[in-house]
Amino acid sequence: MIKLVFCLRRLPGLSRHEFLRYWLEEHGPLVRSHAEALHIRRYEQAHSVESAAGDALAAVRGAPSPFDGVASLWFDSMADMRAAGATPSGRHAARELLEDERRFIDLPRSPLWFTEEHRIV
C-alpha cells in the first residue's frame, strides 16, 4: 500500500473557515466521484484545529506556521496508481481535481510526497 500525503495551505484571501468548508463540502465529494477512475482506495482529510495548546507546543519546538490541513490518499501500489493515470478516465479525473485544487489550495506552498507506512504502536 502506498500513501500520498499532501500538506495544504489555503490561498491568500480565503479565511480558514472558507478553506475548510470548501475542501470538505466541495472538493471531498469530487475526489469521491473520481476515486474509482484513479484507483484511490482511501481518502482522508485532517483539518487543523486552532488551539492555545497547539500554539504553545509549536513555540517550544520552534515549529513553522501550521498547515491548514493534510490530505491522505491510499493506493494499492505505485504501479496501480500510474496505470489509473494512463487511462482516459484517469487523466480526466486528475485534470478535474487539479483544476479544483487551484480554487482553494496555495499549491506552491503545499508540499506532497509518497510514503510507505510502518506502524509502531
65 pLDDT higher than 90: no
Whole-number Å distance between alpha carbons of 103 and 89: 22
Q: Assess if residue 115 is contained within a domain.
A: no
In a domain, 114, yes or no: no
CB 64 within 8 A of CB 57: no
24-34: pLDDT as tens digits:
999 999 999 99
Domain span holding position 97:
7-44+78-106
Best CA proximity match to 2, nearest among 93, 92, 88, 84: 84
Q: Is residue 119 part of a domain?
A: no
Let me know if residue 19 belongs to a domain.
yes
Residue 97 lies in a domain: yes
When pLDDT is averaged across residues 12-33 and rounded to a whole number, the result is 97
What DSSP element (H or E) covers 2?
Answer: strand 2-8
Domains contained in the chain, number:
1
Average pLDDT over residues 76-92: 94
pTM for the predicted model, two decimal places: 0.90
Instruction: Tell me the sheet residues that pair with 44.
Output: 72
On average, the pLDDT of the chain sits at: 94
30 falls within a domain: yes
For residue 56, the model assigns a pLDDT of 84
Looking at per-residue pLDDT, the higher value among 75 and 53 belongs to 75
